[in-house]
């Protein structure tokens, strides 16, 4: 039963901890992503996103726990794992003295599954000049080449570390087109970290929020937007909230105004709030992903 469940997992981190000296970058992290899902990893700077991705790629070794991709232990069998995974690092790491065409030939040799047609299609889509030296490529061009190299061997899993950060809006769109083309391929799994919450809304089936090395939240994007709400209540003079609703993400009281963000809104919740508190006024608003992300982080900061 358990073996069967893990067979359908594309990505699995189990109780993973990674410390650097006294600082804990990733803290007992468990994350399971089924095959065919697109997962967006979000979190403030220093939350452990890049460390998590480096642990996934076997670049860093976990001190506790294990990491598996497609059932393969990434530390025990890194080369077997890498043949089936495409990786776009935060900063493209490519031989800068090679020409684009030479670099492609060089990488091609490592992968028995290299797909020349797909490689040519992507080079064409991105209008990449194979005669150009890598060091002469603009930031956007280098990012696109990095994506071509990650996709041309038809990987089953694609992992991207803040792929669109620092790209201009046009290049970003082209890059997204490339990633979307990859998402459309049957059963391919994608994990990407990002600060661009709009990209997460566009691309991701599920989103995970990392904070201080822990996963605060892991849910379907559309489901999250559907069930989360901001509530604005006005308290009667001299009254304080007596009842805090379940799924409270963040709250703030200033004068008579009581603002709350809840992750599991139901109409019944309003009834209960009204019944349990002395309220003059109550209204409900939707939140976009960015507002929700901020509220989750602010709510956590207050409690710690």
Partner 1 sequence: MKIDPSSHVPIYLQIVGEIRAAIDAGVFRPGEMLPSLRVLAADLRVNPNTVQRAYDELEREGIVLPRRGVGLFVADRDTRSARGEAEKTVLAAFQRGVQVGQDAGLPPERIRAVFDQALDQALRKGRTRS
- Interface positions with partner 1 (CB under 8 A): 38, 173, 176-177, 180-181, 183-184, 197-199, 201-205, 221-222, 225-226, 267-268, 271, 285-288, 290-291
List, in order, residues 6 or more apart from 177 with CB less than 8 Å away: 125
Count of CB atoms situated within 10 Å of the CB of 164: 22
The distance of closest approach from Cβ of residue 222 to partner 1 in the complex, given in angstroms and rounded to an integer, is 4
Q: Which is nearer to partner 1, 131 or 267 (CB)?
A: 267
The distance of closest approach from Cβ of residue 238 to partner 1 in the complex, given in angstroms and rounded to an integer, is 29
The distance of closest approach from Cβ of residue 249 to partner 1 in the complex, given in angstroms and rounded to an integer, is 14
Question: By the 8 A CB rule, do 270 and 232 touch?
Answer: no
Cα distance between residue 9 and residue 36, in whole Å: 9
Q: Which is nearer to partner 1, 138 or 271 (CB)?
A: 271
Cα distance between residue 269 and residue 210, in whole Å: 28
Q: Which is nearer to partner 1, 72 or 260 (CB)?
A: 260
* Tokens at 177, concatenated: 């087109």
Q: Which is nearer to partner 1, 18 or 188 (CB)?
A: 188
The distance of closest approach from Cβ of residue 203 to partner 1 in the complex, given in angstroms and rounded to an integer, is 5
Q: Which is nearer to partner 1, 58 or 299 (CB)?
A: 299
Count of CB atoms situated within 10 Å of the CB of 23: 9
**Euclidean distance between the first and the last CA atom of the chain, given in angstroms as a whole number:** 38
The distance of closest approach from Cβ of residue 280 to partner 1 in the complex, given in angstroms and rounded to an integer, is 21
Q: Which is nearer to partner 1, 104 or 292 (CB)?
A: 292
Among left, alpha and beta (phi > 0; psi -120 to 50; other), residue 215 is beta
Q: Which is nearer to partner 1, 49 or 188 (CB)?
A: 188
Cα distance between residue 142 and residue 105, in whole Å: 16
List, in order, residues 6 or more apart from 214 with CB less than 8 Å away: 27, 28, 29
The distance of closest approach from Cβ of residue 272 to partner 1 in the complex, given in angstroms and rounded to an integer, is 10
The distance of closest approach from Cβ of residue 34 to partner 1 in the complex, given in angstroms and rounded to an integer, is 12
CA distances from 103 to 93, 97, 106, 108, 194 (A): 11, 9, 5, 8, 27
Q: Which is nearer to partner 1, 5 or 285 (CB)?
A: 285
Question: By the 8 A CB rule, do 279 and 253 touch?
Answer: no
The distance of closest approach from Cβ of residue 219 to partner 1 in the complex, given in angstroms and rounded to an integer, is 12
CA distances from 55 to 48, 49, 52 (A): 10, 10, 5
């Amino acid at each position: 039963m358990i073996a069967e469940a893990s067979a359908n997992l594309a990505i699995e981190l189990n109780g993973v901890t990674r410390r650097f000296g006294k600082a804990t970058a990733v803290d007992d992290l468990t994350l399971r992503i089924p095959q065919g899902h697109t997962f967006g990893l979000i979190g403030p700077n220093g939350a452990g996103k890049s460390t998590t991705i480096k642990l996934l790629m076997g670049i860093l070794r976990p001190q506790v726990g294990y990491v598996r991709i497609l059932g393969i232990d990434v530390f025990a069998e890194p080369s077997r794992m890498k043949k089936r995974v495409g990786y776009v690092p935060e900063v493209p790491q490519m031989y800068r003295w090679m020409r684009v065409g030479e670099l492609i030939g060089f990488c091609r040799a490592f992968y028995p599954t290299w797909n020349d047609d797909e490689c040519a299609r992507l080079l064409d889509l991105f209008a990449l000049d194979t005669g150009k030296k890598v060091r002469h490529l603009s930031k956007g061009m280098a990012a696109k080449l990095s994506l071509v190299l990650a996709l041309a061997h038809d990987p089953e899993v694609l992992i991207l570390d803040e792929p669109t950060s620092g790209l201009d809006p046009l290049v970003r769109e082209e890059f997204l087109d490339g990633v979307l083309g990859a998402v459309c391929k049957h059963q391919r799994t994608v994990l990407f970290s990002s600060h661009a919450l709009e990209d997460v809304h566009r691309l991701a089936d599920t989103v995970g929020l990392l904070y201080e090395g822990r996963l605060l939240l892991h849910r379907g994007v559309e489901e999250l937007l559907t069930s989360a709400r901001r509530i604005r209540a006005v308290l009667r003079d001299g009254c304080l909230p007596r009842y805090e609703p379940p799924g409270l993400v963040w709250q703030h009281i200033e004068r008579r105004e009581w603002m709350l963000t809840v992750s599991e809104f139901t109409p019944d919740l309003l009834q209960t709030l009204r019944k349990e508190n002395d309220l003059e006024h109550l209204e409900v608003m939707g939140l976009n992903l960015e507002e929700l992300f901020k509220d989750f982080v602010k709510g956590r900061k207050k409690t710690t």
